[in-house]
């Protein structure tokens, strides 16, 4: 907080306690002693019923070449962000701190609607960061930032890779690998389960799997796309529908870590053996998957690679003349684990190594 005050992040009053907790990702139990220490050191003055007034001038004018602010725009509050992203943001915060850059997370669900122009204009009136980070951004959001020529980095897949710098997992390559993995193990019917989404990454995952299935063995692998509303109840409904058919899939490619848990839970409730009758691969890793039995096959995404990729893109945007936009793609590590087996290999119940 002292670094932020010295850099001139806040000039007159401090934000309220709730906002500070959101910005710094800490609880009120943590923030209150820090505010008391700032008051003791003479940085702020506290008056009942009023915001804490800043009493020391910043040093921003003395060091104009250093410091600054990066703002990540999110549709979700911090407590709803998946652990992989939170860990990556924590690592990114450390990298940015070495350059006296502060990372702030701003939750603005109103910016993630079909017509976000007015909300985005208000957002830019409220904040003037050096670089914007766009997480889970829609096509409309990315297009708006390009039209305004605002320096930004898409944290995810860009709809126009040649126009917006981005950092994401290589979803196309990952999904194609999953399709070929199922194909090599003899599966001919695989369902791709993904939440109804406006993000380019989910779209790329579906397209990549379908392309991989089409190219495997001359089209011998059939891919069915299932789009649910993101709730566990709807995932359960779709699993029920798939398993009712006589030509039900023998493999499921799940585009989401927590979604994978819902799929496996419902399959086991229906008495369907994993991987004896249905094999499962999760596109995303999640710490919760380590507590699931059998352990799901999945693609591990090292958070440090993600953080370094975003940091490099930010550095490029901070240059006097930014580099041409490019996509920084990270290829995750495939971990076969226990939910993947050859199709029809379980006559005796023993798992076939993946």
Give pLDDT tens digits along the chain (354 positions): 887 787 777 778 888 888 888 777 677 888 899 999 999 999 999 888 788 899 887 655 444 345 689 999 999 988 888 888 888 999 999 899 888 888 999 999 999 999 999 999 999 999 999 999 999 999 999 999 999 999 999 999 999 989 999 999 999 999 999 999 999 999 999 999 999 977 888 999 999 999 999 998 777 899 999 999 999 999 999 999 999 988 899 999 999 999 999 999 999 999 999 999 999 999 999 888 999 999 999 999 889 999 999 999 999 999 877 778 899 999 999 999 999 999 876 543 333 333
> Residue 59 has what pLDDT?
59
Q: What's the CA gap between 261 and 269, in Å, rounded?
A: 12
11, containing H or E segment:
none
Beta pairing partners, 74: 107
- Residues 6 or more apart whose Cβ sits within 8 Å of residue 57: none
Taking the mean position of all CA atoms in its chain, how far away is CA 45? 38
Q: What is the pTM of this model?
A: 0.74
Res 58: pLDDT: 65
For residues 161 and 153, give the distance between their C-alpha atoms in angstroms, rounded to a whole number.
11
In 81-121, DSSP assigns E strands to 101-107
Q: CATH 3.40.50.2300: which residues of the chain? A: 2-168, 171-300
Please check whether residue 256 is in contact with residue 192, taking contact to mean a CB–CB distance below 8 angstroms. no
Helix (H, G, I), strand (E, B) or coil at 265: helix
State how far the Cα of 106 lies from the Cα of 18, in Å rounded to an integer. Answer: 13
pLDDT attached to residue 313: 95
Superfamily of domain 171-300: Response regulator (3.40.50.2300)
Residue 25: predicted pLDDT: 66
Burial call 297-316: b when 16+ CB within 10 Å, e when fewer: bbbebbbebbbbbbbebbbb
In the chain, DSSP finds a helix count (H) and a strand count (E) of: 11, 14
Q: What is the pLDDT of residue 346?
A: 55
Q: How far apart are CA 241 and CA 227, in angstroms?
A: 13
CATH H-level, domain 2-168: superfamily: Response regulator (3.40.50.2300)
Cβ atoms of residues 44 and 52 within 8 Å? yes
Nearest to 251 by CA among 336, 182, 297, 172: 182
DSSP code for 348:
S
Which segments within 197-296 are labelled E, that is strand? 222-228, 251-254, 279-282
């Amino acid at each position: 907080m002292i670094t932020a005050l010295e850099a001139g992040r806040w000039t007159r009053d401090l934000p309220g306690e709730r906002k500070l907790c959101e910005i710094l990702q800490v609880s009120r139990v943590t923030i209150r002693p820090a505010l008391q220490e700032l008051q003791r050191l003479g940085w702020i003055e506290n008056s009942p019923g009023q915001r804490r007034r800043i009493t020391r001038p910043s040093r921003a004018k003395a060091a104009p070449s250093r410091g600054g602010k990066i703002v990540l725009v999110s549709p979700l509050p911090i407590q709803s962000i998946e652990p992989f992203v939170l860990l990556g943001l924590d690592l990114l915060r450390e990298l940015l701190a070495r350059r006296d850059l502060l990372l702030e997370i701003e939750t603005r669900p109103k910016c993630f609607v079909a017509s976000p122009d007015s909300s985005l204009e208000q957002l830019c009136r409220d904040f003037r960061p050096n670089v914007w980070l766009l997480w889970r951004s829609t096509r409309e959001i990315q297009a708006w930032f390009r039209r305004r020529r605002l320096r930004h980095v898409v944290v995810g897949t860009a709809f126009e890779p040649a126009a917006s710098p981005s950092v994401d997992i290589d979803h196309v390559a990952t999904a194609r690998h999953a399709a070929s993995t199922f194909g090599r193990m003899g599966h001919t019917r695989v369902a791709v389960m993904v939440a109804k989404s406006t993000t380019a990454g989910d779209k790329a995952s579906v397209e990549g799997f379908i392309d991989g299935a089409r190219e495997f063995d001359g089209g011998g692998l059939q891919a069915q796309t299932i789009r649910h509303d993101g709730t566990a109840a709807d995932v359960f409904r779709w699993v029920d529908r798939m398993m009712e058919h006589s030509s039900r899939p023998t493999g499921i490619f799940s585009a989401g870590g927590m979604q994978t848990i819902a799929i496996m839970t419902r399959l086991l409730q229906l008495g369907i053996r994993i991987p004896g009758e249905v094999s499962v691969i999760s596109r995303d890793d999640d710490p919760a998957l380590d507590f699931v039995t059998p352990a799901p096959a999945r693609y591990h995404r090292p958070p440090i690679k993600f953080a370094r990729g975003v940091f490099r893109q930010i550095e490029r945007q901070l240059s006097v003349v930014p580099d041409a936009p490019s996509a920084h793609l990270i290829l995750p590590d495939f971990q076969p684990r226990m939910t993947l087996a050859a199709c029809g290999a379980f006559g005796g119940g023993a798992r076939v190594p993946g």
